[in-house]
């Protein structure tokens, strides 16, 4: 009986290994097919002119400069807002929250926000940020009469990535040894000094993980930015926070929706640039994390 049971376990184990291998292999094959298709279509269209030109109604003259600048501005603005707020929130929850009830409520809200679909953030951005900016502009008698501007996009994306930064920062803070904090306090450092100069410094390499995830999400989001005013066709570079704007995913979507077959290749070239941009930011953050990790260890 024991031998039969052992054979059954081995058979089940081998079967599950085979099933998992098939699923994993299928995912890799599908990814390779997609990447190959994109590279074959997009690489011939990649050039300096493609990066430096403005969008055009002719595929051979189309470029991504406004959408590229718009994406970088959205990333920079949202990270400048969300990063300090997210880190401060995580630090409060892990180090300073005396009431467990309040901390648990805040923690539950943050986890719920992390699971909210991005389109909901877009609706919130329209209802709050866009309408607020529009009201302020009308009150100031500005020549700009719409709230669908770059500032609304930055604020919306800041709210969207905030839960990601908070949760990953909390996990990073939990890796800091308690003995390190106790040693700092024993040497006469205050709680604030211990938090900022010891805890955050030690956890910062792991906090960069959350920043990497946040940057990747901002670069790839389309739905919330469409809701708050990202245009599909812009022939100028936004020069201030109250200017119209577009981003790479929206520009790619615009090209894909065109009936001309040439724009499919132009969209593929835009996808390659978007992927390279994500790899660049992720690689830079990983490099910095590795450097800081070695220094603090």
Per-residue model confidence as pLDDT tens digits over 80-104: 999 999 999 988 888 887 777 888 8
Question: What pLDDT does 116 receive?
Answer: 86
Range of the domain at 30: 2-44
Q: Are residues 69 and 120 in the same domain?
A: yes
Ranges of H-type helices in 149-261: 150-174, 178-186, 191-194, 200-220, 223-227, 248-256
- The last residue of a domain, from among 29, 44, 59: 44
Helix, strand, or coil here: 200? helix
Distance CA 205, CA 202 (A): 7
For 91, counting Cβ atoms within 10 Å of its Cβ (0-12 exposed, 13-18 middle, 19+ buried), the class is: buried
Q: What percent of the chain has pLDDT over 70?
A: 96
Tell me the per-residue pLDDT of 45-54, one tens digit each, with 9 for 90 and over: 888 888 888 8
Q: Are residues 32 and 151 in the same domain?
A: no
Q: Are residues 188 and 282 in the same domain?
A: yes
Averaged pLDDT of the chain? 84
Q: Residue 296 pLDDT more than 60?
A: no
Question: What pLDDT does 81 receive?
Answer: 93
Q: Residue 288 pLDDT more than 80?
A: no
Q: Are residues 71 and 166 in the same domain?
A: yes
What mean pLDDT do residues 231-240 have? 80
Q: Are residues 155 and 218 in the same domain?
A: yes
Question: What pLDDT does 85 receive?
Answer: 92
Q: 74 versus 236: which is more confidently predicted?
A: 74
Tell me the per-residue pLDDT of 50-77, one tens digit each, with 9 for 90 and over: 888 888 888 788 889 888 999 999 999 9
Q: Are residues 203 and 108 in the same domain?
A: yes
Q: 157 versus 226: which is more confidently predicted?
A: 157
Q: Are residues 37 and 156 in the same domain?
A: no
Q: 123 versus 11: which is more confidently predicted?
A: 123
What is the total count of domains within the chain? 2
Question: What pLDDT does 174 receive?
Answer: 85
State the DSSP H helix or E strand holding residue 293, giving kind and residue range, or none if neither. Answer: helix 262-296
CATH number of the domain within which 128 lies: 1.10.3720.10
Q: Are residues 64 and 9 in the same domain?
A: no
Range from 46-55, 179-188, 264-273 carrying the lowest mean pLDDT: 179-188
- Indicate the pLDDT class of residue 278, thresholds 50, 70 and 90: confident
Q: Are residues 125 and 266 in the same domain?
A: yes
Q: Model pTM?
A: 0.85
Q: Are residues 32 and 137 in the same domain?
A: no
Q: Are residues 229 and 199 in the same domain?
A: yes
Q: Are residues 26 and 57 in the same domain?
A: no
């Amino acid at each position: 009986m024991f031998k039969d049971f052992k054979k059954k376990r081995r058979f089940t184990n081998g079967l599950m290994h085979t099933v998992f291998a098939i699923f994993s292999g299928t995912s890799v094959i599908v990814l390779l097919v997609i990447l190959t298709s994109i590279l074959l279509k997009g690489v011939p269209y990649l050039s300096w002119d493609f990066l430096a030109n403005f969008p055009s109604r002719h595929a051979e003259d189309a470029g991504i400069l406004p959408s590229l600048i718009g994406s970088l501005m959205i990333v920079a603005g949202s990270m400048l807002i969300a990063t300090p707020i997210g880190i401060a929130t995580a630090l409060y929850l892990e180090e300073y929250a005396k009431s467990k009830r309040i901390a648990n409520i805040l923690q539950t809200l943050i986890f719920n926000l992390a699971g909210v679909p991005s389109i909901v953030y877009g609706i919130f951005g329209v209802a709050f940020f866009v309408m607020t900016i529009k009201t302020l502009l009308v009150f100031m008698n500005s020549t700009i009469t719409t709230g669908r501007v770059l500032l609304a996009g930055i604020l919306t994306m800041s709210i969207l990535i905030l839960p990601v930064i908070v949760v990953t920062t909390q996990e990073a803070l939990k890796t800091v040894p308690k003995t390190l904090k106790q040693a700092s306090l024993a040497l006469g450092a205050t709680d604030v000094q211990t938090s900022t100069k010891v805890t955050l410094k030690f956890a910062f390499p792991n906090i960069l993980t959350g920043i990497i995830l946040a940057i990747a999400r901002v670069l790839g989001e389309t739905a919330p930015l469409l809701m708050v005013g990202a245009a599909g066709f812009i022939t100028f570079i936004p020069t201030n926070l109250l200017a119209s704007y577009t981003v790479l995913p929206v520009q790619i979507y615009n090209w894909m929706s065109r009936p001309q077959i040439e724009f499919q290749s132009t969209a593929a070239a835009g996808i390659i640039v978007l992927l390279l941009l994500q790899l660049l930011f992720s690689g830079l953050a990983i490099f910095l994390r590795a450097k800081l990790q070695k220094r603090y260890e």
